[in-house]
Amino acid sequence: MDELVALCKRRGFIFQSNEIYGGLQGLYDYGPLGVELKNNLKQAWWKDLVFDRDDVEGLDASILTKPDVLKFSGHEDTFTDPLVDCKDCNSRWRADQLKSNKCPSCGSKNLTDPRPFNLMFKTSVGPVEDNNSFAYLRPETAQNIFTNFKNVIDSTSKQLPFGIAQIGKAFRNEITPRNFVFRVREFEQMELEFFVTPGTDDQWHETWVNSRLNWWDQQGVSKDNLELYRVPENELAHYSKATVDIMYKFPHGLEELEGIANRTDFDLGSHSKNQADLNLQSNVLENNESNARLAVQDPETKKWIVPYVIEPSAGVDRGVLAVLNEAYNVEELSDGKTRTVLNLKPHLAPIKAAVIPLKKNNSELVNIASNIKKDLQRLRLGRILLENSGNIGKSYRRHDEIGTPLCITVDFETLEDNSITIRDRDTMQQKRIAISELSKFLEDLIIN
Ligand code: GAP
98-124 tens-digit pLDDT: 988 999 999 999 999 999 888 999 999
The pLDDT value recorded for residue 81 is 87
Distance of CA 316 from the midpoint of ligand 1 (Å):
9
For a mutational test of ligand 1's pocket, the pick from 118, 226, 318, i.e. the residue with the most ligand atoms closer than 8 A to its C-beta, is 318
Helix (H) or strand (E) holding 196: strand 186-196
Say how far apart CA 292 and CA 275 lie, in whole Å. 10
CB-based contact 372:357 (threshold 8 Å)? no
* pLDDT for the residue 4: 92
Give the whole-angstrom CA distance, residue 355 versus residue 387.
6
Q: Is 264 exposed, middle or buried (0-12, 13-18, 19+ CB in 10 A)?
A: buried
Separation of CA 172 and ligand 1 centre (Å)? 9
Closest ligand 1 atom number to CA of residue 256: 14
Instruction: Give the model confidence (pLDDT) of 250-260 as tens digits.
Output: 999 999 999 99
Ligand 1 center–CA 305 separation, angstroms: 29
pLDDT of the residue at 1 = 86
Question: What are residue 46's phi and psi, to 5 degrees?
Answer: -65, -40
CA triplet 236, 240, 246: central angle to 5 degrees?
70
pTM of the model: 0.94
pLDDT digits (tens, 9 = 90+) for 17-70: 999 999 999 999 999 999 999 999 999 999 999 999 999 999 999 999 999 999
Q: What average pLDDT does range 5-14 have in this prediction?
A: 94
pLDDT of residue 441: 95
User: Distance between CA 246 and CA 313 in Å, rounded?
Assistant: 10
Write down the pLDDT at residue 233: 95
Whose alpha carbon is nearest atom 20 of ligand 1? Answer: 183
Alpha helices in 381-432 (DSSP H): 392-402, 412-417
Q: With contact defined as beta carbons under 8 Å apart, do 326 and 222 qualify? A: yes
Confidence band, pLDDT 50/70/90 cuts, at residue 321: very high
Query: Which atom of ligand 1 approaches the CA of 189 most closely?
Result: 12
Pick the CATH number of 349-447 from 3.40.50.800, 3.30.200.20, 3.30.870.10, 3.40.980.10: 3.40.50.800
Element (H, E) at 315: strand 308-315
Q: Pocket of ligand 1, candidates 38, 140, 186: which has the most ligand atoms within 8 Å of its Cβ, to mutate?
A: 140
The predicted-structure confidence for 346-380, as pLDDT tens digits, reads as follows 999 999 999 999 988 889 999 999 999 999 999 99
**For the segment 386-424, what is each residue's pLDDT rounded down to a tens digit?**
998 888 999 999 999 999 999 999 999 999 999 999 999
User: What is the model's pLDDT at position 268?
Assistant: 94
> Which residues are CB-neighbours of 330 under 8 A, at least 6 positions away?
338, 339, 340, 341
Pocket around ligand 1 at a 6 A CB cut-off: 140, 142, 172, 174, 183-184, 187, 189, 191, 256-259, 311, 313-315, 317-318
Q: Looking at residue 340, what is its pLDDT?
A: 94
Instruction: Cis check for the bond before 312: say yes or no (omega within 30 of 0).
Output: no
* 2-78+120-273+306-323 CATH: 3.30.930.10
Q: How far apart are CA 279 and CA 297, in angstroms?
A: 12
User: Which residue has the CA at smallest separation from atom 17 of ligand 1?
Assistant: 315
For the chain, the domains span 2-78+120-273+306-323, 80-118, 349-447
d(CA 226, CA 205): 18
β-partners of residue 434 are: 419
Residue 390's H or E segment, with its range, is: none
What SS3 state is found at 155? helix
State the closest ligand 1 atom to the C-alpha of 191, by its place in the atom list counted from 1: 1
